[in-house]
Homo-oligomer: A and B are copies of this chain.
């Protein structure tokens, strides 16, 4: 992760990732109200985070995959304010936050890395706000697919094929749409020859078309 570290520093940071934990599909990594103690680095598997209101409404706030960090919401109040659920069997590193803070005080590069991770999450959420606040259904789903495939490709997966680990309802919750709208929009993209949909397997035939949908607010 951070670069330009001495071997000594590297050894100390290695300590952070010694605790491993396996999470089965459907299990919570943490839940709203749980005491906060650690951040979690995802080694394998796929998670979603969501917030829930008293009146039962809930909103998916993100999907996390290998190499990403989750749990940042707990720092401010020492309690988690959202749920994290594994969408497939997963393995994570438990990184006790007091240890992160301790090492951050010693290792400048780690300190900056932590700051960047948090800033990156803030910037990501700005993007989601833009999506939720000003895009139409097709634009939202196109942006979602492009984002997913980009992150998967950065991890060595195909640039054109992906397997959705979440339901239409979870996609809809994330995008501020109903599951029926997500389904219909997939069908429309398929009819237009932009993608092939086979349940949760998506093949992207025309990524440029998706880009065009996102970056041209209906003035096609």
Is A111's CB under 8 angstroms from B118's CB? Answer: no
Cα separation A174 to B134 with both chains bound (whole Å): 10
Determine the main DSSP class of A at the interface with B: helix
The 8 A CB mask of A181-220 against B (1 = contact, 0 = none) is: 0000000000000000000000000000000000111000
Which of A111, A123, A125, A129 has the most chain B CB atoms inside 10 A of its CB? A129
Q: Give the number of residues in A that approach B within 8 Å (Cβ atoms).
A: 50
Interface-side segment among A8-16, A20-28, A52-60, A154-162: A52-60
Known: A129-B132, A132-B133, A215-B53. A112 touches B119 (CB 8 A): no
Contact of A108 among B53, B59, B72, B105 (CB under 8 A): B105
Is A55's CB under 8 angstroms from B216's CB? Answer: yes
Known: A129-B132, A130-B53, A215-B55. A73 touches B112 (CB 8 A): no
Known: A75-B119, A108-B101, A115-B101. A128 touches B129 (CB 8 A): yes
